[in-house]
């Protein structure tokens, strides 16, 4: 299995809702990442997990809460989001943190906040 699987593919949520994005990989990768991508912009790093511990938080608002339950799973919990948080949320993994050639990305979750 050489894929990163993200669910759901599309999500519409209200500003008072709580929802979660899920990311899964079975490549034995020990680093996992969340990126946010607005339309016609490059992906921006949000969080990095290394060996199931939060390694980097790029000053992301607390309405985004990451969780790494085990080495194969990465969640992003969403609460009280704003319409400007609408974006494509990408998950990636790599064998170790920082290895540039080994990033595998999922297809993303397209989030719309209404």
Partner 1 sequence: DAKTTQPTSMDCAEGRAANLPCNHSTISGNEYVYWYRQIHSQGPQYIIHGLKNNETNEMASLIITEDRKSSTLILPHATLRDTAVYYCIVKLDNYGQNFVFGPGTRLSVLP
**Binding residue (CB under 8 A) for partner 1 from 22, 65, 75, 103:** 103
By CB under 8 A, the residues from 12 to 71 that bind partner 1 are 33, 41-45, 48, 56, 58
Residues 39 and 31: their CA atoms lie apart, in Å, by: 26
Q: Under the criterion CB under 8 A, does residue 4 sit at the interface with partner 1?
A: yes
Question: Which structure tokens are listed for 64?
Answer: 């985004």
112 binds partner 1 (CB under 8 A): no
Question: If you compute the radius of gyration of the chain from its CA atoms, what whole number of angstroms results?
Answer: 13
Give just the sign of the alpha carbon dihedral 44, 53, 112, 26.
positive
User: Which CB, 67 or 105, lies closer to partner 1?
Assistant: 105
Min separation Cβ 70 and partner 1, Å: 22
How do 109-113 and 10-13 pair as beta strands?
Answer: parallel
Residues that bind partner 1 (CB under 8 A): 4, 33, 41-45, 48, 56, 58, 90, 92, 96-108
């Amino acid at each position: 299995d050489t894929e990163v699987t993200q669910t759901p593919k599309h999500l519409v949520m209200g500003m008072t809702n709580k929802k979660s994005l899920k990311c899964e990989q079975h490549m034995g990768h020990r680093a996992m990442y969340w990126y946010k991508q607005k339309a016609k912009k490059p992906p921006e790093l949000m969080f990095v997990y290394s060996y199931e511990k939060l390694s980097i938080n790029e000053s992301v608002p607390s309405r985004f809460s990451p969780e790494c339950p085990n080495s194969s799973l990465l969640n992003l919990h969403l609460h009280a989001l704003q319409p400007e948080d609408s974006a494509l949320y990408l998950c990636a993994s790599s064998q170790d943190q920082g290895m540039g050639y080994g990033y595998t990305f999922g297809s993303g979750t397209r989030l719309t906040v209404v």
